[in-house]
Amino acid sequence: MIRTLFKLLVVASVVTVMQFSPAAAVEPDEVLSDPVLEKRARSISEGLRCLVCRNESIDESNAPLARDLRILVRERLVEGDADDEVIEFVVARYGEYVLLKPNSGGSNLVLWLSGPAMLLIAGGVGLAFLRRRSRSVDASSQGLSADEQARLEEILKE
């Protein structure tokens, strides 16, 4: 209780500090004996959010709930689930909030497409600008512009 209160206080007061509880998460007793399975468990855990933490995956968090989820993931893997099935199982239970990499369906298309779309727009504007500038370079490359002529004379006078 006191710890939660303190955490709230810290969230309100800290400058640009990320709120992570220190100490890494995975305890030795959780680790699976099969290294291939354990590796899969770790990579799945990295994509699942600890529900009671701030922007931490269950792989990084030492919260009890994160531990429960890690064990759950490993249980499913031991029972022979594929990676996707494990993730689907967790999402079905806790909602898409647990996914650190959001789905690309529905309104999330906006999130996923905003970067490429903006790149196209910005690239298009940039290219249009460049072509305009370079067209004038063709026009002006024949000789000096009036401006440049004036400046040249000024320099020569000095």
- Could you give the string, one character per residue 84-113, with x where binding to other proteins holds by CB under 8 A and - elsewhere? -----------xxxxxxxx---xxx--xx-
Q: Does 14 bind other proteins (CB under 8 A)?
A: yes
Q: Does 126 bind other proteins (CB under 8 A)?
A: yes
Identify which of residues 22 and 80 has a Cβ nearer to other proteins in the complex.
22
Segment interacting with other proteins (CB under 8 A) among 67-75, 81-89, 128-136, 149-157: 128-136
Residue 136 has which token pair? Answer: 């004038």
- If one counts every other C-beta atom within 10 angstroms of the C-beta of residue 108, the result is 13
Instruction: Say what angle helices 83-94 and 64-78 make with each other, to 10 degrees.
Output: 140
Q: Does 17 bind other proteins (CB under 8 A)?
A: yes
Identify which of residues 31 and 72 has a Cβ nearer to other proteins in the complex.
31
87: Cβ contacts below 8 Å, ≥ 6 apart: 44, 47, 48, 99
Q: CB-based burial of residue 124 (10 Å sphere; 0-12 exposed, 13-18 middle, 19+ buried)?
A: exposed
* SS3 per-residue string spanning 69-119: HHHHHHHHHHCCCCHHHHHHHHHHHHCHHHECCCCCCCCHHHHHHHHHHHH
- Rounded CA gap, 84 and 25, in Å? 23
Binding residue (CB under 8 A) for other proteins from 40, 44, 49, 76: 49
Shortest separation between residue 21's beta carbon and other proteins, angstroms: 9
Q: Does 4 bind other proteins (CB under 8 A)?
A: no
Q: Which residues bind other proteins (CB under 8 A)?
A: 2-3, 6, 9-20, 22-28, 31, 46-47, 49, 54-57, 60, 95-102, 106-108, 111-112, 114-115, 118-119, 122-123, 126, 129-131, 133-134, 136-137, 140-141, 147
